[in-house]
Structure 1
């Protein structure tokens, strides 16, 4: 249906010739189209003498035989935990591991006496050494530790230092390396592009609404380490959940800027938004004439799929209602989630995804490319195929952002370029994710293959962003830097020294401008 605001001309009844000659249809003529072009309001269905074939029965859930893998029982303290408890969202919320003492107790229960070190370090270490390594990582990390029971139950605790899930959520000091000189918090300059509190408006037609600072599970490589999660020894967070006044101001801004057609609601993670707030935000955005698409960002499907399966979960029901409302008025609501490795996917994930599909909810996935976790073609291909099997659209593969204390997880640009070439043809073209660099300094998303230059010796790649205008962005060149430890040792030290000097000069210039600005005031 087309809105009255877009309708020009008259509504004309016409008779359709051919196989539909006995049907009366209404067509609309639009001022923006050829006046002779008639657009049917309803698509005619050809008459058929034979009865339609019967529909195949649709299962409510995947089959659940009695021998279904109760994988959480590998955790000693959950060895007798009933499925109904592990499937309960309330139980999961109460058993999150997030404080240092809490984590220490969990590790003491789950670790064997001896565990292997990371493969590139070699050897083994006793349990106490490993726990000390974890605590050292927590003191140095930008992100605090917060892990849902589902994630903990998917980790191989016989070899945690080499487990692809453990490395995403729990830091080890022994794995950390010196930061690149060009790294800094808020590497994407989101705060600079924030016209009002909690809203980022960088692209002309899109806005990012940051409504919460809480996540069900905290990633060590979080882009918003400057504000998400609890304070750490390294970072005092400066971000809070949006209050009512901030929400109203952001919504008013979106409504008053008619060029905005797409809003992504994130944080933090919308999984921890109260269901009535989730629905209210969605309703109010969908009611705006200028908004066509609303996206809710949540890692919940990857780290706590049980919630989606639980009967009468208010958050899931609110999302389903919003999706149905949007579809009825010709708009879109989608859930954007975040899987990085095939091991995150279990039969619970499959059930949760099926429920979302049956409720008509579009789900897309964004993956972050992480060194030693998913930076090889076999792992990434497996992940993509499993996502496709669950009808989740593999959307983006992100080059890991340049934020502090995770240098050991970043890959050189060459890795994502090689991976992109290898991924072509592994499945249908529309299911191949785009390989993206979110450009440092606020340049926005750009395919890695569209770099202007890439010096593999210095590890410096340059990009432009034609889509961004104003604020000095025309013809601006953005740079991405490969991790220092991946560079040729012969030039590494001299390059780092020159980059540090560049940072020092830039900081001095910034401070001078700030002093001049204060003097003018």
Structure 2
């Protein structure tokens, strides 16, 4: 997902998406709003960030400094084989990352680190993201092979991708072989489907091909102003996901990345949509996702009492379930960000920038 130059996130629209826009003969807002650069991106706000939470690690293992590794949670190690994507989502949380692609040697070293380093003794999941790991299928196969050999404690490997939406032809027999069933762990595939209109026939076929590998598919929809911020749009989307056997896992509030305020609803609007999804009878409770913020200390699903304050800069104070002492033990070298503090019970509280003019919610 890297593609920033001089602080500007480059526009990148895959040939497949360009063809779909041309074939339509009219604007397709569900694509344009996600991929076409907007002049509003030049407008910044105080407390917006160039990147989401900082969780990179640079451990030295077997005499080498590792690249492409992040960690925030006790059970999960994050690996980035590449920061390249087939297209650039304008709301991307990793648009300011440096361009990086790991070698086979790099990935095998990470697998050994995952399996043997003392700080990873509780790791049971590996989340493979980037960029988009399915853009370079050889890397994902090298990593899966290495994890199977060197990290026997890993039970689940999750792979985050938008390739089926952005370039579905890539989901071919070669990719299916790379994602084949493994003896040591199961594979889950995470995707961001934000609007029913994205589900062209080729896209549906690509997701079906991924399911044929035996992988479990789940979705992390990003709530975006003007795209999917109505109840009817979300009901249509989550019904369709269920019909495709894709679990609706998260409804993410759009992260306060620099220049992205025009994409963001208020947190209160997101909470109200989430409440109506669960309490309207319009959809089954089986398809209701968790409404979640990506804060500077990690993901925080919102529950009653999660929001405990608001300041004059539209920042919300969020109570989390993360303990500082545990985080410090899980992630050697982790530092408390300036936006967070530890409460009297040892839990982290963190400030989160709401959309401009938003209301607090609860």
Identify whether the pair has TM-score above 0.5, normalized to the shorter chain: yes
Aligned to 1:460: 315
Shift of 1:444: 0.8
| Structure 2 unaligned spans of 5+ | 60-65, 329-334, 337-341
Name the CA shift for 1:344/1:456 in 2 (closer, same or farther; >3 Å). Answer: farther
| Structure 1 unaligned spans of 5+ | 1-98, 100-137, 228-237, 489-521
How big is each residue's C-alpha offset from its partner over 1:352-378, in whole Å with a ceiling of 9 and x where there is no partner? 233333332211111111111111111
Distance 2:213 2:102 in 1: 29
SS of the equivalent of 1:314 reads helix
Q: Does 2:227 correspond to 1:373? A: yes
Aligned to 2:123: 260
Shift of 1:150: 2.8
Aligned to 1:409: 263
Name the CA shift for 1:254/1:296 in 2 (closer, same or farther; >3 Å). Answer: same
Q: Does 2:278 correspond to 1:434? A: no
Distance 1:421 1:408 in 2: 23
Where is the strand percentage greater, Structure 1 or Structure 2?
2
2:70 to 181, 200, 218: 200
Give the alignment's Cα RMSD to 1 decimal. 2.7
2:143 to 266, 269, 281: 281
Distance 1:481 1:147 in 2: 29
Q: Does 2:242 correspond to 1:394? A: no
Distance 1:252 1:272 in 2: 24
Distance 1:408 1:180 in 2: 11
Q: How many residue pairs were aligned? A: 327
Instruction: Please say if residues 137 and 178 of structure 2, whose CA atoms lie closer than 8 Å, have aligned partners that are also in contact.
Output: no
Distance 2:108 2:146 in 1: 10
Name the CA shift for 1:462/1:159 in 2 (closer, same or farther; >3 Å). Answer: farther
Aligned to 1:484: 356
Q: Does 2:71 correspond to 1:211? A: no
Q: Does 2:170 correspond to 1:170? A: no
Instruction: Please say if residues 179 and 404 of structure 1, whose CA atoms lie closer than 8 Å, have aligned partners that are also in contact.
Output: yes
Alignment TM-score, normalising by the size of structure 2: 0.81
SS of the equivalent of 2:228 reads coil
Higher RCO structure (Cα 8 Å, ≥6 apart) = 2
Q: Does 2:224 correspond to 1:352? A: no
Instruction: Please say if residues 267 and 358 of structure 2, whose CA atoms lie closer than 8 Å, have aligned partners that are also in contact.
Output: no
Q: Does 2:96 correspond to 1:226? A: yes
How big is each residue's C-alpha offset from its partner over 1:161-181, in whole Å with a ceiling of 9 and x where there is no partner? x712111111121x4463220
SS of the equivalent of 2:348 reads coil
SS of the equivalent of 2:320 reads coil
Matches within 5 A, 1:289-304: 289-304=152-167
1:325 to 179, 182, 192: 182
Where is the helix percentage greater, Structure 1 or Structure 2?
1
Structure 1 segments of 4+ aligned residues over 4 angstroms from their partners: 138-141, 156-159, 485-488
How big is each residue's C-alpha offset from its partner over 1:311-355, in whole Å with a ceiling of 9 and x where there is no partner? xx3122211x1xx224xx5x3211111111111002222222333
Instruction: Please say if residues 186 and 225 of structure 1, whose CA atoms lie closer than 8 Å, have aligned partners that are also in contact.
Output: yes
Instruction: Please say if residues 216 and 271 of structure 1, whose CA atoms lie closer than 8 Å, have aligned partners that are also in contact.
Output: no
